[in-house]
Amino acid sequence: MRRLPLLALVLGLVSAVPVEAQEQRVELRVSLGPDTFPMHARAPRVQVRNLLADKRWSDALEKLFPVRLDYRLEIWRSREGWIDEFQRAAEWATVVQWEPLQDQYRVTLLLLSGPQELRFPTRDEVARYLNYTYEVDALPRGTGTFYYTVTLTITALSAKDIEDLERFLAGQPTAPAGPERNSLGRRIQQFLLRVAGLPWDEREERSPPFRVQP
């Protein structure tokens, strides 16, 4: 029996992989900063990779749908043989928009201290910024073994969402200040976005544990 060369076999296996499996997908990574805080506490570091390489979100931007990334970071203390203790949470958001008339990208950071806007002239520059690993100003309280969890919800904003966002940025108190965080609210949002044909995704990652000592 004649055998196929190894290279041909490998190429055949690669070509057999579905196109969807070969496409890049957005990734969420959660790590720890250096051991520089008192009692060996470690700050969380968060990175989102391949947002613009993911066809769902690049297509949404090209169709002039802003893409919103909602983050929820939680601090947990491990309790051996018992339910882990939730300490507190921090939430923030990033909105990415393509402005074709100005031929530029706008990134709006929705922080507790207030909104901040950044503008980028090219797709490569905004992609590099979005891939940046940043350290969150959040540390646990007390001593013990801790870890962080980060939930990332990515949505393409509808026309009503954009209006609500513009009212919020203008300082109108009637606009919602943050995303719906309960499970039922997220399911309803996901259903409505799918009906409207808009993409929706949610990722959750956990940091390595670390020990805070007295």
Kindly report the three-state secondary structure assignment for every residue of 132-143: CCEECCCCCCCC
CB 26 within 8 A of CB 49: yes
Q: What is the pLDDT of residue 163?
A: 64
In-domain check, residue 4: no
In-domain check, residue 12: no
In-domain check, residue 194: yes
Write b or e for each residue in 133-165: b if 16 or more Cβ atoms lie within 10 A of its Cβ, otherwise e. eeebeebbeeebebbbbbbbbbbbbeeebbebb
pLDDT in tens, 132-166: 999 999 999 999 999 999 999 999 986 666 666 66
Number of domains in the chain: 1
Taking each continuous run of H as one helix and of E as one strand, the counts in the chain are 6, 10
Domain housing 104: 19-212
In-domain check, residue 183: yes
In-domain check, residue 101: yes
- Phi/psi for 199 (5° steps) reads -75, 155
In-domain check, residue 14: no
Separation of alpha carbons 163 and 165, rounded Å: 5
Give the helix/strand (H/E) hosting 21.
helix 19-22
Q: What is the pLDDT of residue 158?
A: 66
Separation of alpha carbons 156 and 57, rounded Å: 8
Separation of alpha carbons 177 and 138, rounded Å: 21
Give the helix/strand (H/E) hosting 205.
strand 200-206
Can you list the residues of the chain whose pLDDT is less than 70? 1-22, 158-197
Q: What is the pLDDT of residue 167?
A: 67
